[in-house]
């Protein structure tokens, strides 16, 4: 088969296990994660304007870019924005002004940016624009297993799907060059395994990159008028832009063919991280003459000619994460015929099962893992004591509408009843309270939201709550950082990553600016004061035509500053007083407290305890005491 | 070599694994792997896969690890699903280490003991990627076996 020849030339490139002489290692080899490779790749490609909103598994891309840019560039912008939509529009506008730009987010973040994303495909770009969206098949730390390749297809945006760290580095560069060549936004899709994977990566030095970006905006009035038509297009012109977009896609498809590996007569079509699992399995089980692995670096758009070429194979099976993007485009077998699972990650073990379903391998014995201990808030976390006080004040009958952040873990100790998406903690309290009012039930509803999530999308919902006079309590957990994704900054910071001055945004001023009269700020570590404020809020809500807001402000103890200023006590258990009631274990859930089954009492693990002293309030018997160090 | 490392957030598992990875890279081996962190920063389980001198994907299939290093004893059963050969840092090991070195250096100390017992990398390769303070505690562990 002619495909064999193509295979051979690619195989040469694929030798990853070369032993490199020691001197070169010192110079050029990095142990990079996929996200670091993308950050470095974007910089190397020429991106000079990068924005984003943090979200696992995408959060390390922007900090890597910042770190390298600070070292190698004079003139750039790289920082977090308030949410993905704003981040998208800010960076995209810079690209329209002629500066190579990019934006990073996680897959559910792309939902937030969907409006500009869909539109920008029509309008195109000038400086080049790369959208990085990282998917989370599994899911490991997300609400959905959605596939950004599908979103790209829906928006008619070309998408590159790297399969390993090396490709993550080179595809981020290819994404920008493709974008510049065709004046179209390009999506770079990664997944948890590629983004959080690590490998030795050999990269060139960045020194020759000290160039200055030059905006072309309005420089040439003649072309400016032409451009304006596109930038503020009427529906009539949008139709023409759509036509132009389709032409671009056709050309891109014809210039980007899939790659073929091995020589079998069963074609397995794939893209992204799954490719590397399949490649390994084919080698491991010597299936080189049974399978031909067809790798789509660019899973959308696909050239029509490929369909014809694939007809030469006995079977065509699509094995891809996490939705049937190639399968639908190429009318292949896969999820529709039950060969590929419709949910969950396609791990190497799952890929092995797929191969055995095809009759290529013997069925293996399934190894099932015991459940891992569930995660809980860090010892000393201000959210824990704040939410413990909240439960104490409002009890079990209240409905707690939670949100996305570390505090989602309050599910563990019963202070969160709902979690949907960013900002829904605030808007859910509206819908649920109104429903109770309509049913003439007086149940209390409390919305819980973190500071960054409040900025991200809690503000519009709070405006509606006030506008319609909904008497709910909104608790804003303000720890001064985006804690869950690795302590990125929020708009309340007064300094950028490079030490430049920023205007800090005040949450209470926003709340008061809306018109909300009951807005109190209190440190959750001041337990008695917090209880008092919650009781006041409860009273206020009984007769108010407005929500009440309590801001619990205490720095995240997982930051250097937060830890250094945190109170430090010597905490001890008075064994005689402990009755083994487990209130502190079940309703407070600090990892530093453990129940000794033999003794029937609770003890403190001094390795984990940071001495915050909050647990003294959790014990109904007064068996936990603290003293100043 | 396929290596799985298990531990808890805040235990320095990531640092521990990167020392091994960098040492292996320094020896000229290819290294690929992944760091699986859960939602919790402190106390949540952390799972590291490392393929040294082989492979191209970051994941190790259940039952196929050549060595499973368990830094937190309660993850032993989970770890045994990855492979037969386990190296567990028991509660007693950690307590003993605590009596000899500062809490932050436990991992480096225990790495010294591990490499002496399971020499999948040369002692010198590890020393090369450690700073002088860590070198001291690594050697202390090495000498204690």
**Is pLDDT above 70 for A461?**
yes
- Is there a shared CATH topology between the A29-253 domain and the A569-628 domain? no
Q: What is the DSSP letter of B19?
A: H
Looking at domain A382-565, its CATH architecture is: 3-Layer(aba) Sandwich (3.40)
Q: How confident is the model at residue A14 (pLDDT cuts 50, 70, 90)?
A: very low
Q: How confident is the model at residue A212 (pLDDT cuts 50, 70, 90)?
A: low
Is B95 touching A (CB cutoff 8 A)?
no
**Could you tell me the residue ranges of all domains in chain B?**
2-143
**Could you tell me the residue ranges of all domains in chain A?**
29-253, 259-357, 382-565, 569-628
pLDDT tens digits for A114-173?
A: 999 999 999 999 999 999 999 999 998 899 999 999 999 999 999 999 999 999 999 999
CATH of A29-253 given 3.40.50.970, 3.40.50.1820, 2.60.120.380, 1.10.8.50: 3.40.50.970
Closest by CA position to A91, among listed A118, A136, A131: A131
B128 contact residues in A (CB cutoff 8 A): none
Q: How confident is the model at residue A12 (pLDDT cuts 50, 70, 90)?
A: very low
Beta-carbon contacts of residue B132 (< 8 Å; ≥ 6 apart) = none
pTM of the model: 0.93
CA A225 to the chain's CA centroid: 39
What is the C-alpha separation between A519 and A549, in angstroms, rounded?
Answer: 5
CA distance A591 to chain B (A): 7
Is B22 touching A (CB cutoff 8 A)?
yes
Mean pLDDT (chain A) is 92
Instruction: Report the CATH fold assignment for A569-628.
Output: Alpha-Beta Plaits (3.30.70)
Is B38 touching A (CB cutoff 8 A)?
yes
* Count of CB atoms situated within 10 Å of the CB of A576: 9
pLDDT tens digits for A294-326?
A: 999 999 999 999 999 999 999 999 999 999 999
Facing A591 at nearest CB: one of B25, B43, B63:
B43
Domain covering A259-357 assigned CATH 3.40.50.920 in the classification: yes
CB contact under 8 A, A375 and B62: no
**Is pLDDT above 80 for B38?**
no
Write the CATH number of the domain with boundaries B2-143. Answer: 3.40.920.10
Q: How far are the Cα atoms of A86, B57, B80 from residue B62, in angstroms, in the given order?
A: 42, 14, 9
Q: What is the mean pLDDT of residues A226-235?
A: 84
């Amino acid at each position: 088969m002619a495909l064999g020849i193509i295979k051979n030339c690619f195989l040469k490139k694929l030798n990853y296990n070369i032993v490199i002489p020691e001197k070169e290692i010192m110079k050029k080899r990095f142990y990079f994660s996929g996200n670091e490779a993308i950050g470095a790749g974007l910089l190397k490609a020429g991106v000079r304007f990068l924005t984003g909103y943090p979200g696992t598994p995408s959060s390390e891309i922007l900090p890597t870019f910042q770190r390298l840019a600070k070292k190698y560039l004079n003139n750039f912008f790289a920082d977090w924005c308030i949410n993905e939509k704003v981040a998208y529009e800010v960076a995209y506008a810079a690209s329209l002004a002629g500066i190579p730009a990019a934006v990073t987010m996680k897959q559910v973040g792309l939902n937030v940016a969907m409006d500009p994303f869909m539109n920008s495909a029509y309008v195109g770009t000038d400086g080049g624009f790369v959208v990085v969206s990282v998917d989370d098949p599994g899911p490991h730390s997300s609400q959905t297993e959605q596939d950004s390749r599908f979103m790209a297809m829906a928006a008619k945006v070309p998408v590159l799907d790297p399969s390993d760290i090396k490709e993550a580095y080179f595809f981020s560069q290819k994404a920008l060059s493709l974008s510049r060549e065709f004046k179209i936004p390009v999506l770079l899709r990664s997944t948890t395994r590629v983004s959080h994977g690590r490998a030795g990566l050999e990269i060139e030095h960045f020194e020759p990159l000290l160039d200055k970006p030059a905006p072309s905006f309005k420089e040439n009035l003649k072309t400016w008028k032409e451009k304006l038509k596109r930038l503020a297009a009427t529906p009539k012109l949008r139709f023409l832009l759509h036509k132009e977009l389709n032409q671009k896609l056709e050309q891109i498809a014809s210039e980007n063919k899939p790659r073929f590996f091995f020589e079998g007569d069963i074609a397995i079509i794939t893209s992204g991280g799954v490719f590397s699992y399949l490649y390994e399995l084919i080698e491991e089980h010597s299936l080189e003459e049974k399978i031909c692995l067809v790798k789509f670096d660019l899973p959308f758009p696909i050239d029509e000619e490929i369909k014809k070429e694939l007809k030469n194979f006995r079977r065509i099976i699509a094995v891809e994460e996490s939705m049937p993007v190639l399968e639908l485009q190429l009318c292949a077998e896969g999820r529709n015929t039950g060969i590929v699972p419709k949910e969950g990650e396609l791990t190497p073990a799952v890929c092995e099962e797929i191969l055995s379903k095809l009759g290529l391998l013997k069925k293996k014995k399934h190894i099932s893992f015991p459940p891992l201990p569930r995660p809980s808030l860090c010892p000393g976390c201000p959210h824990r004591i704040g939410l413990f006080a909240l439960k104490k004040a409002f009890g079990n009958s209240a409905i707690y509408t939670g949100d996305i952040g570390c505090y989602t873990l309050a599910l563990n100790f019963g202070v969160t009843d709902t979690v949907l998406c960013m900002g829904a903690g605030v808007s859910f309290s509206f819908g649920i309270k109104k429903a109770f009012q309509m049913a003439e039930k007086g149940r209390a509803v409390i919305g819980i939201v973190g500071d960054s999530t409040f900025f991200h999308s809690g503000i519009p919902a709070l405006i509606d709550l006030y506008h319609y006079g909904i008497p709910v309590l909104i608790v804003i957990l303000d720890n001064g950082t985006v804690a869950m994704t690795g302590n990125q900054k929020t708009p309340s910071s007064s300094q950028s990553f490079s030490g430049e001055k920023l205007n800090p945004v005040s949450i209470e001023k926003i709340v008061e600016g809306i018109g909300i009269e009951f807005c109190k700020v209190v440190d959750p570590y001041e337990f008695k004061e917090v209880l008092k404020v919650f009781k006041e809020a409860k009273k206020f809500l009984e007769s108010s035509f407005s929500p009440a807001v309590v801001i619990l402000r205490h720095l995240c103890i997982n930051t250097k500053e937060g830890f250094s200023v945190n109170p430090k006590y010597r905490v001890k258990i008075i064994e005689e007083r402990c009755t083994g009631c487990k209130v502190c274990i079940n309703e407070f859930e600090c990892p530093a407290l453990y129940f000794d089954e033999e003794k029937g009492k609770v003890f403190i693990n001094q390795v984990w305890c940071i001495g915050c002293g909050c647990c003294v309030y959790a014990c109904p018997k007064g068996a936990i005491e603290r003293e100043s160090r | 070599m396929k290596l799985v490392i298990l531990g808890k957030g805040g235990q320095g598992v990531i640092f521990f694994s990167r020392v091994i990875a960098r040492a292996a890279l320094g020896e000229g081996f290819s290294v690929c792997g992944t760091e699986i962190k859960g939602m919790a920063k402190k106390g949540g389980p952390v799972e590291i896969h490392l393929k040294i001198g082989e492979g191209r994907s970051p994941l190790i299939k259940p039952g196929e690890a050549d060595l499973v290093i368990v830094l937190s004893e309660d993850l032993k059963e989970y770890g045994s699903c990855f492979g037969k050969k386990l190296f567990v840092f028991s509660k007693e090991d950690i307590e003993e280490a605590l009596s000899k070195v500062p809490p932050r250096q436990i991992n480096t100390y225990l790495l010294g003991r591990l490499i002496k017992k399971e020499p999948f990398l040369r002692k010198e390769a590890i020393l090369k990627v450690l700073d002088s303070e860590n070198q001291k505690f690594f050697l202390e562990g090495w000498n204690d076996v």
